[in-house]
Amino acid sequence: MNYIDVKEAVKKTGKSERTIRRLFANSESVPYLQKKGNKTLIEVNYLFSIYDPLNDTKKPQRQKYDITEIWQKQEDINSLKTKIALFEQELKNKELLLQEKEGRIIDLQKTILLLEAPKKEPELNQTEQIPGKKKRWWQF
């Protein structure tokens, strides 16, 4: 009779290790268990009578693609690439406009600095007299 350990039983049945250990702990399974050192082994025929074995001969199925779906996805990707290119071009144009505006602002600021405000005459205090004017009696 063939015996296998827990890890092999997990691989052969596809069940979790916890499920296999529960089977080992079941009182009905005791006659089909064997201890070898620290390992507990179970009889293969009994294990497969409880849980169906995995079919190892199965080949993984290939995923089928519809060619129209692939073309549609490619068209979507191409349209998105075109949109991105347009947005990038628009962004570059806006950056150029901003640079031009900044240049104009700097030119205007320089022009304002060149145009000096007209000089104002210094205001005279009431106590100061302007030559040629008489001092009024109420001013000291």
Radius of gyration of the chain (CA): 48
Tokens 């009578």 map to which residue? 49
Across the range 103-118, mean pLDDT stands at: 85
What pLDDT is recorded for position 135? Answer: 65
Q: Where does the chain have alpha helices with state H?
A: 6-13, 17-25, 44-50, 67-114
| pTM strictly above 0.75 | no
Q: What is the pLDDT of residue 26?
A: 87
- Inter-residue contact 27 to 36 (CB < 8 Å): no
pLDDT at 136 over 80: no
pLDDT at 2 over 80: yes
Question: What is the average per-residue pLDDT within 126-133?
Answer: 58
CATH 1.20.1070 fits 3-50, yes or no: no
Which residue from 3, 26, 6 is spatially nearest to 16, judged by alpha carbons?
A: 6
Render pLDDT for 25-81 as a digit per residue (tens, 0 to 9): 988 888 889 888 888 899 999 998 988 888 765 566 777 777 888 888 999 999 999
Q: Which helix (H) or strand (E) holds 36?
A: strand 33-36
Instruction: Specify the pLDDT at position 120.
Output: 63
Residue 69: per-residue pLDDT:
84
- pLDDT of 95 > 80? The answer is yes
Domain residue extents for the chain: 3-50, 64-114
Residue closest to 29 by CA, chosen among 37, 38, 20: 20
